[in-house]
Structure formats: structure tokens, C-alpha cells
Amino acid sequence: MAISSLEIYKILPGTNCGDCGHPTCLSFVNDLIFQKKPPEACPHLRQADIQKIKDLVRSGSSQKLESYGEVMFHPLETALKRVQSLNFSYLSAVMGGGTIYQHENNSLVVPYLNSLLTITKNEARDEAGHLLPPGFQTALYNYLATVQKIHPQNTWVSFKELPGAVFLSSYFVNNVEGMVSGQFSTRSDLLLKSAVSLGGQVIENENISPADVKLSFILIPKVNIRLLFWDSVPEEGLPAVATFLFDAGIYQLDLESLTYLIEELVKRLIAAL
């Protein structure tokens, strides 16, 4: 029998603290099984629990593991179930923002930054036809399941101010915003260039913030975000700082999915260098 991620998940603390480098305990489980990440990466496990996890993974090593998207309790499976009853034609009208409904295969063509993603009720692919990673698909299907409840308010809040962000805020600040500040420190001009190449818009309003770089993105229809960046000042010992702001109307989207969508943006900003 294939390894069940639920068995391992029950051993973990379940706090989604991010200390292992993953936004959630569940995403850590997937790397334990499929990427052979050592359980010691979780600093909150007792030695006995570490051994239990190793035994579970080892017991399945000679068996045929389920695929990454089919593993028991994988969030993609749950996310897919959430969209099966949705009317994609109606949803395209709700989403707007360039979303196209394709009747022939009951799919949605959805803008993500400056690219187009094709989403059916079974899978999501990029413009080249490549299947998107399971985490990206999970985030997209969770987004589709909640987009009707997302109503932009033009009121801007930080990640930690979003409802329920207490367990993920440390991870987001250190691993997501921290990645931007680390990669673009002393290179704010390159951040600006990368952002514009992805469809980001420069915010000219001086009253919004004194940040060195102020950017706005339509990440995906109805999900509006801002990125404020203060470059480092070495002579004053000041490090670079990056802060994402979110339209408060996004609160209906689960934070794990939102985090993944922002991480994908950060990856693309860096790749565009």
C-alpha cells in the first residue's frame, strides 16, 4: 500500500509555523515523501517522532508510491472536489479581467500576471501546455472555489493583518518578502524592470508610501496586490525591506493558496533578472 501523508501529518505539530521552510505542515509532508527531505528539518519533533516518520517512509520505499497529485489527503485532491459543481461559463463572467470560457472543453483561460493559464476541472496547464506543479494547481482551484466571494475594497493591509494569518505570517515575512529584499538589495532598478516585464504597474502617488519602489499587480482576476520596496543603505546599516500589501477583499481566499500565488510571483521576478 502506498504511503498516506495523513499518517505522517498526524505526527507533526500541525502549527504551520514555517520553521522547516514550508508554509504549512502538509506541504512539508509532501517533501518528506517525494523529495526525501529529512524529518529533522522540523525543529519541533521529538526523536521518537522523527524515527516514526522515517519508519513510515521506509516502509513504503519498496512499494509503488502514489503520484504527487494523488497521494491521500493531498490538498490538490480536496481542491479539485471544490470546483466540480461550479459553472465555468458563469464563473468566467464573475471573474472578468480577461478570463475566457472555452465551451469545447469546458475550460477557463485565466490571466496570471502576464501569462495565460488553461484550467479544466481536472488539471491546469501553462501557455506551453505543461502541467502546472501540484501546489500551483491547488492554489488555482481554491481560488476558483472562492472567487465569487472576493470583492476588492481598495483598502490595503499587510499579510499579518489578514484574518487567520498568525501561523503563516512569520514564514511569509522571512521566506517570501525576505526573498525579495535579499535578491534585490542594492538593485531596486532591476526589481522595477522585472516587475514591469511581468505586467506590474509603477505607483506614482507619493502619498501612498515613501518606499523607493512602489508597484501594483493584478496577480489573477480580482486579486490585487502591491509591493513596496525600500532599498538598503549600507553606509547607514539599513537593510533592504520588501512588504506586500493586499486588498482587504481577498480575505475569503485561504492563506496557503495566497502564499503560493505570491511565491510564484517572486520566482518570476527573480527569473526575469
Residue 66 pLDDT: 40
Q: How confident is the model at residue 270 (pLDDT cuts 50, 70, 90)?
A: very high
Of the ranges 39-43, 65-69, 173-177, which one carries the lowest mean pLDDT score? 65-69
Residue 225 pLDDT: 97
Distance of CA 36 to the CA centre of its chain: 22
Share of the chain above pLDDT 70, in %: 90
pTM tops 0.85, yes or no:
no
Helices (H) and strands (E) in the chain, counts: 10, 9
Mean pLDDT over 64-86 rounds to 66
Q: How far apart are CA 93 and CA 209, in angstroms?
A: 34
Mean pLDDT over 164-189 rounds to 89
Given a cut of 70, whether residue 154 has pLDDT beyond it is yes
Q: How confident is the model at residue 63 (pLDDT cuts 50, 70, 90)?
A: very low
Q: Report the SS3 class of residue 105.
A: helix
Residue 33 pLDDT: 74
What's the burial of 62, exposed, middle or buried (CB within 10 Å: 0-12/13-18/19+)? exposed
Residue 197 pLDDT: 97
Residue 70 pLDDT: 40
Given a cut of 90, whether residue 148 has pLDDT beyond it is yes
Q: How confident is the model at residue 56 (pLDDT cuts 50, 70, 90)?
A: confident
